[in-house]
Chains A and B, each alone.
Chain A
Amino acid sequence: MNESVSIRTPADGPTVHHERGQRSVFCGLTGIVWLHRKIQDAFFLVVGSRTCAHLIQSAAGVMIFAEPRFATAILDQRDLAGLADVHDELDSVVGRLLERRPDIKLLFLVGSCPSEVIKIDLVRAAQRLNAKHAPNARVISYSGSGIEKTFTEGEDACLAALVPGLPAEPATAAPSLMVVGALADVVEDQFAVLFKEMGIDARFLPARRADSMPAVGPNTRFILAQPFLAETTRALEARGARRIAAAYPLGAEGTTLWLKAAADTFNVPSENFEAAIAPGLARAQMTLARQREKLSGKTIFFFPDSQLEIPLARFLAREVGMKPIDVSTPYLHRSLMAEELALLPPEVRLNEGSDVDAQLDRCRAARPDITVCGLGLANPLEAEGLTTKWAIELLFTPIQGYDQAGDLAELFTRPLARRSRLEV
């Protein structure tokens, strides 16, 4: 932890610049790539175009699944010209799909840019299909379209769509803790153990199976494990649940603040809290000390991508001594980010939105030691002599919690180490 950075009150933080221009980010469909791994009996059916199918295929990288639990119902000329009734077509596609995959218990109809522009009512379609296929398979819908959703907002839309169907927790129930946001199973298990040691029985949204989604009610207190869940937050609050505001569990400090916020809400005695976190915290501090030697003083530049940029910049600045110079996020939800903004060094240039050409100009002028960017920009920037870190790896790698803190820092050390090795 870097003592030199003073903690300011929430709502404080660097000035925010707003940018508008070409956005070089994935659309919300991309979240399917990790969500389908998380919910193991769910299927994601995109109602879209060949572009949607091509995007998911390209973002997923390798086609390692024989029959992945996602697919695209591609709209064609017949659907657009009204020669085929889109809803009849969809019913028949879903019918064949569920017949072929009886293991699927939860089917998401995922809206896309084309389905939204031609106004296919997927909410109604999901209700109709649900009436037909429940209880064997529940059918719900959300939008992952690029015109509505930027990258991780797809997960937000997916989880928000789950909320109305969560079981109701009675008003008389004891207070319960819900951790919200898709985490790698290994991280989820670590958190469950930590909470258990504090005497809290934590439940997670999304659950690994469709039939074990957590209940929600007025005594539910929820804490976000991912910072991009604004719509899910509203949906949970609409069911009476209350959010525990906290920094996000990235790094030793972030994890402690996050756990502490939950522990305080549940009145965990501080000695119990300290005892529960001590071993993990010590391990995290040990691994981070080694990373700090390699990263301290290095400058870092974030292109807007996953909305993880602000917590990551906070972690890198405070725990390994890096200097974030330019941090862009596609959207800034001030209320969800208040605790993070208060911890961010005030000299950071903070931007909401995107104008990729202007950002490239700033990046080239600043020549940061590391640039965090999308895959489309990484090789071109490397070719210009800049060292890059792929932003998407931060979503596919377990990075939250004490025992991943060192791994998270190491993601930034590795490209620097590689560059220093090469003599070609």
Chain B
Amino acid sequence: MQLTLWTYEGPPHIGAMRVATGMKGLHFVLHAPQGDTYADLLFTMIERRAERPPVTYTTFQARDLGTDTAEVFKDAARAAYERHHPRAIIVGASCTAELIQDDPGGLAKTLGLPCPVIPLELSAYSRKENWGAAETLYRLARGLAGERRERPARARPLANLLGPTALGFRHRDDIIEITKLLNALGVDVNVTAPMGATPDDLTRLGDADFNVVLYPEVALPAAQYLEKAHGQPYTKTVPIGIGATRDFIAEVRKIANLPETAELPTSNLPWWSRSVDSTYLTGKRVFIFGDGTHVLAAERIAREEIGFDVVGLGTYSREFAREVRERAKLHNIEALITDDYLDVEKAIADAHPELVLGTQMERHISKRLRLPCAVISAPTHVQDFPARYAPQMGFEGANVIFDSWVHPLMMGLEEHLLGMFREDSEFHEHASHLGVSSAPAPAPIPTAAEQPVAAAPTAAAASSPVEPQWTDEATKELKKIPFFVRGKARGNTEKYARERGLTTISVGTLYDAKAHYGR
């Protein structure tokens, strides 16, 4: 039993959903209790997907436990096929359904559905989201890739891109960037999977000469299987950062036997980093935490390409613990391998970094600690799916990374300078982690009680319209209004009172004004 406040990874069936939702023509029948449908909103809200995830949940309830949940599953699987006519179906159980041991795989088999049905064993009580995604992609590759086949010698070799999923951190744009890079190198893309692939596309996986593993967390087991079953080598370098992209190019050329003649795209990062303006970046203390792939990439960029000091390095991906520990040694620090959010918060506070590179969790930690932060890894948030093209991989990815790491630093400096104004409570509330509202701090509210009794009559005469005074109750009521509209509510109420010549503002006046100005 582990006490958890916030989690870096969801349960394994969420990983399976990320695979299914990234694909087309695949349907996932998930044996799960009522309520597990919350997962739909991750995709429709965070990633702004315009379609529901291709998932049918059995949504069984307690009354079904007394009767036959297996029948509920079979009905749901049958109905899902009838309605969606998928080209293939994956079936699995969420944590609760795993406990009732209905065996969705076996049940689905008895239905004799007219499409391939691939069962998943998701181990909800020992595994997590990325493992679930990797397992699902592996099962799909194994179930659909077919027999090993002869591959003709090609002038332009073919590669599969493996690993991008729905809800992945910038996967959408990494696919485009790496496809462009491979094309420039003289390689064509055979299948990109799971993102954008159909089950039929997966039957063509074996046509490729080699596999590009974009995200080892998701793609490694599938790539290892394809190496064994189809004799396809796979790339080991993840092309995030200038150095890694160059290494990746060298690796692809070696695997595919390509000459070093092709003209390749370039990046601004090397010159931006060498230009004198970037001098101030030297030795900035940076704390890095996220999934294994992005953390290892960020460490190298920070060290070799921007010139930061890495004062903290860690990952929630235990499978990458060894590699992350090795890298931490370069900085004489101990790697933080944990999925306990409070441990990460404490480590960040103790390390006193000037910049945090992390996930959405670290962004929240940074807000509280008032540190600048850039997001480099899942778990993601709606803002990690920008409208613009913003890859992490390849040469354009390096440009995006330079900008997104450096901009919060400058904002951070501004925030530091503005810190001196923080005594004012309302101003404090307006402070965000990236900056501070440009609105001037409002003057304290004059209350009827505080009004000087012996106000000089001349002064009162000078400011001709008498300023209405707030009663204590009205002041208290005003404070109940959310701070982001409180200023407006206060202004409108005072205007309303002045226009009517009221001398005091009561709770009633506040709501009268609210009703008057309401939309």
Contact = CB atoms under 8 A, between A and B. Distances in A.
B40 interface: yes
A86 interface: yes
Contacts of B79: 357
B166 to A, nearest CB: 13
Nearest to B94: A51
Contact of B1 (A22, A84, A377): A84
Contact of A379 (B14, B36, B45): B45
A182 B168 CA distance: 37
A383 B50 contact: yes
A118 to B, nearest CB: 6
A421 interface: no
A25 B10 contact: no
Interface in A136-165: 145-148, 150
B459 to A, nearest CB: 35
A26 B39 CA distance: 10
A375 B36 contact: no
A145 B519 contact: no
B515 A283 contact: yes
Contacts of B40: 24, 374-377
B93 to A, nearest CB: 11
B36 A51 contact: yes
A49 B125 contact: yes
Contact of A80 (B125, B364, B518): B125
B33 A79 contact: no
A115 B51 CA distance: 33
A54 interface: yes
A76 interface: yes
A191 to B, nearest CB: 13
Nearest to A57: B6
Given A25-B34, A63-B6, A290 B518 contact: yes
A398 B472 CA distance: 23
B50 A58 contact: no
Interface string A101-118: 000000000000110111
B1 A74 contact: yes
Contacts of B9: 50
Interface string A349-365: 00000000100000000
B480 interface: yes
A25 B35 contact: yes
A53 interface: yes
B50 A25 contact: no
Nearest to A86: B1
Interface string A369-402: 0000011111110110000000000000000000
A388 to B, nearest CB: 11
B113 interface: no
Contacts of B125: 49, 75-77, 79-80
A145 B33 contact: yes
Interface in B333-388: 342, 345, 360-361, 364, 368, 381
A97 B511 CA distance: 42
Interface residues of A, number: 77
Interface in B31-81: 33-42, 44-45, 48-52, 56-62, 65, 76, 79
B468 interface: no
Interface stretch (B95-103, B190-198, B219-227, B263-271): B95-103
A117 B35 contact: no
Contacts of B34: 23, 25, 27, 146-147, 150
Interface string A68-88: 100111111111100010100
Given A58-B41, A147-B96, A375-B41, A74 B35 contact: no
B44 A375 contact: yes
Contacts of B172: none
Nearest to B126: A77
Contacts of A410: 518-519
B11 interface: yes
Given A53-B7, A147-B65, A376 B38 contact: yes
Contacts of B128: 50
A64 B514 CA distance: 29
A347 interface: no
B423 to A, nearest CB: 22
B442 to A, nearest CB: 20
Contacts of B275: none
Contacts of A75: 1, 125
Given A51-B10, A71-B5, A74-B2, A283 B33 contact: no
Given A75-B1, A376-B44, A403-B515, A147 B60 contact: yes
B83 interface: yes
Contacts of B41: 58, 374-376
Interface string A159-201: 0000000000000000000000000011001000100000000
B110 interface: no
Contacts of A62: 364, 381
Query: For B4, B33, B34, B50, which residue has the most chain A Cβ atoms within 10 angstroms?
Result: B34
Contacts of B4: 50, 53, 71-74
B11 A50 contact: yes
Contacts of A93: 1, 3
Nearest to A283: B515
A193 B480 CA distance: 15
Nearest to B83: A357
B208 to A, nearest CB: 33
A146 B36 contact: yes
B51 A380 contact: yes
Contact of B3 (A57, A96, A379, A380): A96
A50 B44 contact: no
Given A50-B95, A189-B480, A58 B519 contact: no
A405 B519 CA distance: 12
A54 B14 contact: yes
A107 to B, nearest CB: 13
Nearest to A76: B125
B44 A54 contact: no
Given A77-B125, A377-B44, 20 more contacts: A22-B76, A27-B33, A27-B36, A30-B38, A49-B124, A50-B9, A53-B4, A63-B360, A63-B364, A97-B3, A186-B481, A279-B508, A283-B512, A286-B515, A286-B516, A374-B40, A379-B49, A380-B51, A406-B519, A410-B519
28 contacts: A22-B37, A22-B76, A49-B125, A51-B13, A51-B96, A53-B4, A53-B6, A63-B360, A67-B342, A71-B3, A71-B4, A73-B2, A73-B3, A73-B4, A75-B125, A79-B125, A114-B95, A116-B62, A146-B35, A146-B59, A283-B514, A290-B519, A375-B45, A376-B44, A377-B44, A380-B44, A403-B511, A403-B515
Closest 3 CB pairs of A and B: A27-B35, A146-B35, A376-B40
